Structure 1
């Protein structure tokens, strides 16, 4: 009887510690991998056999879809994800780096090396994590290859101009590299970027069979990633978020529609001092002095688009307070691309349209020790991913526009991981049994 009583009291102590005492954060910190597939529309997996993505929905969490910020472009959207700030706050207002005074225009991939385009006072997650003692890396991720307040990301890989984005052999190598950074070099945060299915969506359109092929390839690499995580014994220590930056829609062309040529409605050379208008569904323009109202009125007569004065844009756009954005913003209706003087636009698919359009929504999947299993979340804005990542890394976030309350339901016990050792339910069962015999 005495032995049974001693066992009973000992088990009470063990159960109470398992159930009631959380581990210290320093002892329970998990690593985080953020993966982005550029241009992965929210429904791209619905017309393709994707066994690995399907399994993720069972083994982790998914959102029905998530909404990118305005603007639905690669650089602005990725920087919202990694900072938790709206575009008007972080000021990465286009894929192209530009200067309205000098008329400088730097192509998308070249802008990845220019700190002055990204370093506008808002700190991205890499730097915030490093400042709190963590080790971070960026692999091709937009914004990861420059310095912020003079501080660079601990390790960076940048894609060169012309670098192919669809080579599956290289994808496997990149996954192997990133996973080894976690397992062999103790990195805490790594961001990994893939340029597909954006490229094939632009070149062929979202409904083309080649888009379906690249989704199958993405599904394969997700399975490869999960195997690599398992082979490196990271299943219990690594959380993974898989998302995107925007969706994709089919571009309307002749003879089905009349394409938009803005120079038919105003003399761009006479009335504008700067413009980026041949870049999909989103355009910006700086009128010559005293010509803003004339430009606005002329563009308002053009079909299949909406023209805004920057300071009069809807608050929900979160663009109006931007100092970098020019005074006139033009947004085409879904599927209509903007042409300035000639029809030079060759893309069959594009983005940059209103983020309320379903074709602009994108995916969200997550798995790992801190996430629930077989859980489907209601849609949310991508700005809320940032506080979720800070919670997973157990770091203090910078000021941001997101809210952890939006994503807290994705996590076990508000972010705490599963406990090791015997499950609490089993211990409680044993406790009840012992009490019956004492």
Structure 2
């Protein structure tokens, strides 16, 4: 009898290590909203009654840390794939080819599948493959194909289109709510280009930045009413987040701005570069010049230069085949100019993700989330497994962990109990039984 019991417990332990059944038992819908460039503290110097109410009605992280690189496309794709930048391959806002010198501006890359489709499946496609219906409203990466598969419905932002029209923001919410309530979508990602644009143009401390935060707050209030009107309050979870923060750019005459050509002759020593782009730059030295370029840039002030093969492991960038041999990261607030000063932004990002100015927001509410709960900070990489749990789908291989965010959920929230927890429970029971044999 004791042997039979031992075998039964062993079988249970083995079963606990296997993935749970893919059947979804009453999973709720999910809306992921990203406000580009919403720094973690932007709501602390502005009256934001609707965002404040979200904290009482749902959960908040003190802040979240975006991946290196703190740019729009790399960070958004980390959120929707749960992979580090070196794994998913979207290493810059610009699509580029260091061999051909191709450089494609950010918004023109949004439907270029060859930039996004690098063998890592985003959440939309994973969910569709498990029977869900998904849509992307302007979210970076949503307009691409992945292994020949497209998102069920995808709207892509047009170049030059204004991002700050409040009426259109509300119309976009109405559209998304109808997708959920009338067309039975399960997952929608919705992107807004503010407060990033204002942060760049005016700086994070400008009154116009505060004005756009008030507009975002009104939009959150509109969203709450729209959810109620469409009778989705009991079936829709909402996550609000962002991709990076923003910092004030130091300008002359207060400081000497970085002009890299003062320290090395770019024309003679480099064959490819993306500089003049905030706090992060990449460079391909001409053959045999890598060490010389590295040594010369190491003498330049207010920046750190890295050889790709010597990047800190914490950057999670070194394995990328797309990144050239030299990476340059300016100190906080210093932008990188190549040959002369052409940079006009008063605020920017792209700096080391350890700086508090690069941290961003996380709010969530809905039937599966706790109320009035504030969590410790976490990395944005962990949002992906949280979303998979909420949708009750099996995740693709990813670098996140659902245990990091499990305290955000009600006891019944999300999908099946994590297999690792079941395994630990079975292991404890097996250990107890073994003492009786």
Is the TM-score greater than 0.5? yes
In the TM superposition, residue 149 of structure 1 has moved relative to its aligned partner by 0.3
Q: Select the structure of larger CA radius of gyration.
A: 1
Match of 1:329 in 2: 327
Give the match for residue 98 of structure 1. 96
Residue number in structure 2 paired with 1:249 = 247
**Structure 1 residue aligned with 2:189:** 191
Where does residue 361 of structure 1 map in the other structure? 359
Aligned to 2:53: 55
Aligned to 2:156: 158
Shift of 1:26: 3.1
What corresponds to 1:31 in structure 2? Answer: 29
Q: CA RMSD in A?
A: 1.0
CA–CA distance in structure 2, aligned partners of residues 47 and 134 of structure 1: 40
Match of 1:338 among 332, 336, 339: 336
Q: Is the aligned partner of 1:234 residue 2:232? A: yes
Q: 1:408 touches 1:414 (CA, 8 Å); kept in 2?
A: no
Q: Which residue number in structure 1 is paired with residue 117 of structure 2?
A: 119
Structure 2 residue aligned with 1:13? none
CA contact (8 A) 1:240 1:367 kept: yes
- Tell me the SS of whatever aligns to 1:28: coil
Q: 1:114-160 CA distances to partner (integer Å, 9 max, x unpaired)?
A: 00000000000000000000000000000000100010000011111
Give the deviation of 1:91 after TM superposition: 0.7
Give 2:425's aligned residue.
none
Cross-structure match for 2:204: 206
* Residue 41 of structure 2: aligned partner: 43
From 405, 424, 431, the counterpart of 2:403: 405
Distance (whole Å) between structure 2 residues aligned to residue 48 and residue 342 of structure 1: 37
Match of 2:62 in 1: 64
| Structure 2: gaps of 5 or more residues | 1-21, 416-437
Runs of 4+ with deviation above 2 angstroms: 24-27, 414-417
Deviations 1:293-318 (A, max 9, x none): 00000000000000000110100000
Deviation per CA, 1:15-67: give whole Å up to 9, x if none: xxxxxxxxx96342110000000000000000000000000000000000000
Aligned to 2:276: 278
Deviation at 1:414, TM superposition (A): 5.7
> What secondary structure, in the 3-state scheme, does the structure 1 residue paired with 2:411 have?
helix
Deviation at 1:415, TM superposition (A): 2.2
* In structure 1, distance between residues paired with 2:414 and 2:250: 48
**Cα offset for 1:113?**
1.3
Q: Provide the C-alpha distance between the structure 1 equivalents of 2:97 and 2:25, rounded to a whole number of angstroms.
A: 48
- Quick one: distance in 2 between partners of 1:407 and 1:392? 11
- Give the unaligned 5+ runs of structure 1: 1-23, 418-438
Choose which of 288, 291, 294 in structure 1 pairs with 2:289: 291
SS of corresponding position for 2:73: helix
SS at 1:190's partner residue?
Answer: strand
Other structure's SS at 2:32 match: strand
TM-score (norm 2): 0.89
3-state DSSP class of the match of 1:185? Answer: coil
